[in-house]
């Protein structure tokens, strides 16, 4: 690269980093979201109330898993657009002694689901059918997942970790300005899909910041889960309510589907990047494999020398993303139904070969990029939280209903929202989903199959010790947001809060466009990229990363995303 480009890149990086720090000081975002460094533990979630619940469990002697279970249920109350008991997700765990594990509590298609269930007579997707209403819902996995996690690793009682969420649902909590706006905006839709009423509809006036949202039906459901564990959700009164709701809206989930649902422990995906060990989620998530592929693709190049979001850095990352997302569309799906070529995709030489036709002088058209040949072979409302306890046990969980407030259907009598995860299948192989992601046969709909996800909960080690816990919501942008957060720390020496707050960009093979947050890339770099054939489109916030960094001093540094109401709390 010419010397002048390197100089401009470095100056650009210094300007952006300084701007992020200065803006945080002026607006109070960094002070509001990041609470400094602490030695005993840290919780970072999408909602202040949930972060308070998690840290309280840690202070009472609970471990990271106890706090994670408490946070998961608390988010189902205080962050209903993505926190859930009616959805699913993924957990990556690392014990203080270095044991690693991954839990897949992703939803499943009902037993009566069929490959062409969302197609019209001509074989074309009926878009809204997989997005809204009862037919869009997969069998929920969150409750079984939390039960299994707590049974395997929990320390304090199940009742103790459930009670904070019950209290929040029963007594209510103050909604944020952002939540008031969301609920008001969805008023008509909630009325349409919930003719028998729901706590999310304010019949007296519009919602306002600090209004109290009480959810009595949800509180009763949580009490049953507290008292009966798994049976409190997948059988009895709650199961009856789910089935009755399905019958009302022509959904597919039956009592047998609920009885037969079980979360699955899986072997984490691991990889190496510049001496850092990456521990991340395997399929049914596409995120872990894609993350390691991206890191392997850029590892041979001097990102630090070029600078953060310099034109060379952006071009390299876009070309890596183009190839990795093409692989995602073809080779990834539920490993219980499809033989995912995991070892081949994670092979360093494979990803190096994939980058071999990368040309610095011009963009590679996505039409010219196919998935690699292997022999034998998500609106963006999800939520992530990261937790580390006093002993150094770490949990990274990403959980979702898929779209904001899921299918917009609240189960009458049980008070929780159904997911609309069925849209994450390839409704028709080759047709894009709500995030514009294209899928293939590997992710086609089948009974009892888990739909592919981009969720990428991740833990990073350095020299055998915990280094980072990271993850984000964001649909198709999840993978690239986690990737950029990691390189922001490793390559560009940012603090955890700087890495989380830094502006991001995204490319996903199809459509062949580079999505960029406002001011993420300087105007000179944008002109250079455009001259090479890159289509740059400015869009709203990308990702909402919540992360924890273990410093060289052994303290924990939180990064809570200023794009939302997220909060990092340590002690």
Is the separation of the CB atoms in 565 and 48 below 8 Å?
yes
Count of helix runs (H) and strand runs (E) in the chain:
20, 19
Distances (CA, A) of 43 to 57, 412, 499: 10, 32, 17
Q: Which of 242, 250, 203 is nearest to 412 (CA)?
A: 242
What is the spatial distance between Cα 473 and Cα 439, in angstroms, rounded to a whole number? 20
Distance CA 564, CA 437 (A): 24
Strand ranges inside 9-152, DSSP E: 37-38, 42-45, 88-94, 100-105
Catalytic: which of 221, 382, 398, 456?
382
Residue 442 in tokens = 């590997």
Q: 61-90 burial by CB neighbour count: b if 16+ within 10 A, else e?
A: ebbbbbbbbbbbbbbbbbbbbbbbbbbbbb
Rounded Cα gap, residues 413 and 499, in angstroms? 43
What is the chain's length? 571
Peptide bond before residue 511 is cis, with ω within 30 degrees of 0: yes
Residues in a beta bridge with 278: 271, 460
Written as six digits, the tokens of 164 are 């904070």
Local structure of residue 302 (DSSP, 8 states): -
Active site residue 364: no
Residue 432 Cα to chain centre, angstroms:
19
The answer to whether the CB of 139 falls within 8 A of the CB of 258 is yes
Residue for token digits 């979201």? Answer: 33
Tokens of 511: 């459509």
What span, in angstroms and rounded, lies between the C-alpha atoms of 312 and 310? 6
Exposed / middle / buried, residue 203 (Cβ in 10 Å: 0-12, 13-18, 19+): exposed
Q: Which residues are catalytic?
A: 382
């Amino acid at each position: 690269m010419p010397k002048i480009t390197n100089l401009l890149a470095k100056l650009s990086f210094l300007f952006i980093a300084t701007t992020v720090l200065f803006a945080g000081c002026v607006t109070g975002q960094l002070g509001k979201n990041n609470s400094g460094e602490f030695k005993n533990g840290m919780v970072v979630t999408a909602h202040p109330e949930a972060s308070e619940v998690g840290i309280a469990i840690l202070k009472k002697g609970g471990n990271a898993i106890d706090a994670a279970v408490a946070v998961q249920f608390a988010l189902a109350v205080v962050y209903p657009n993505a926190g859930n008991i009616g959805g699913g997700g993924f957990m990556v765990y690392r014990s203080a002694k270095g044991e690693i594990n991954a839990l897949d509590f992703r939803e499943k298609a009902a037993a009566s689901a069929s490959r062409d269930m969302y197609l019209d007579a001509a074989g074309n997707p009926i878009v809204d059918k997989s997005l809204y209403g009862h037919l869009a819902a997969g069998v929920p996995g969150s409750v079984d997942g939390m039960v299994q996690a707590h049974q395997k690793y929990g320390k304090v009682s199940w009742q103790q970790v459930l009670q904070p969420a019950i209290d929040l649902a029963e007594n209510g909590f103050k909604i944020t300005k952002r939540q008031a706006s969301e609920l008001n905006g969805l008023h008509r839709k909630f009325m349409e899909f919930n003719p028998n009423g729901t706590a999310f509809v304010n019949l007296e006036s519009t919602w306002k910041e600090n209004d109290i949202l009480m959810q009595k039906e949800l509180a009763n459901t949580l009490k049953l889960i507290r008292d009966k564990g798994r049976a409190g959700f997948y059988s009895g009164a709650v199961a009856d309510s789910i089935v009755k709701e399905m019958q009302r809206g022509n959904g597919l989930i039956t009592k047998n589907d609920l009885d037969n649902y079980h979360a699955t422990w899986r072997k984490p995906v691991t990889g190496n990047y510049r001496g850092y060990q990456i521990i991340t989620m395997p399929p049914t998530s596409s995120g872990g494999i894609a993350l390691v592929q991206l890191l392997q693709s850029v590892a041979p190049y001097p990102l630090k020398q070029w600078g953060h979001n310099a034109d060379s850095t952006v071009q390299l990352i876009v070309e890596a993303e183009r190839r990795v997302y093409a692989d995602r569309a073809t080779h990834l799906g539920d490993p219980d139904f499809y033989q995912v070529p995991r070892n081949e995709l994670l092979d360093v030489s494979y990803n190096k070969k994939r980058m071999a036709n990368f040309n610095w002088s011009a963009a590679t058209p996505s039409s010219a990029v196919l998935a690699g040949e292997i022999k034998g072979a998500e609106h963006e409302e999800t939520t992530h939280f990261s937790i580390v306890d006093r002993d150094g046990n770490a949990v990274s969980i990403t959980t979702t209903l898929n779209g904001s407030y899921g299918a917009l259907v609240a189960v009458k009598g049980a008070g929780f929202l159904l997911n609309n995860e069925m849209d994450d299948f390839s409704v028709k192989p080759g047709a894009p989903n709500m995030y514009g992601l294209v899928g293939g046969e590997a992710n086609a709909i089948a009974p009892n199959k888990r739909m592919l996800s981009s969720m990428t909960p991740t833990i990073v080690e350095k020299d055998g010790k915990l280094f980072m816990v990271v993850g984000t919501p964001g649909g198709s942008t999840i993978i690239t947001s986690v990737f950029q957060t990691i390189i922001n720390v490793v390559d560009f020496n940012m603090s955890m809060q700087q890495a989380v707050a830094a502006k991001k960009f995204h490319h996903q093979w199809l459509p062949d466009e580079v999505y960029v947050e406002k001011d993420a890339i300087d105007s000179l770099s944008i002109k250079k990229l455009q001259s090479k054939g890159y289509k740059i489109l400015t869009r709203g916030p990308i990702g909402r990363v919540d992360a924890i960094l273990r410093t060289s001093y052994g303290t924990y540094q939180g990064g809570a995303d200023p794009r939302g109401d997220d909060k990092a709390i340590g002690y």
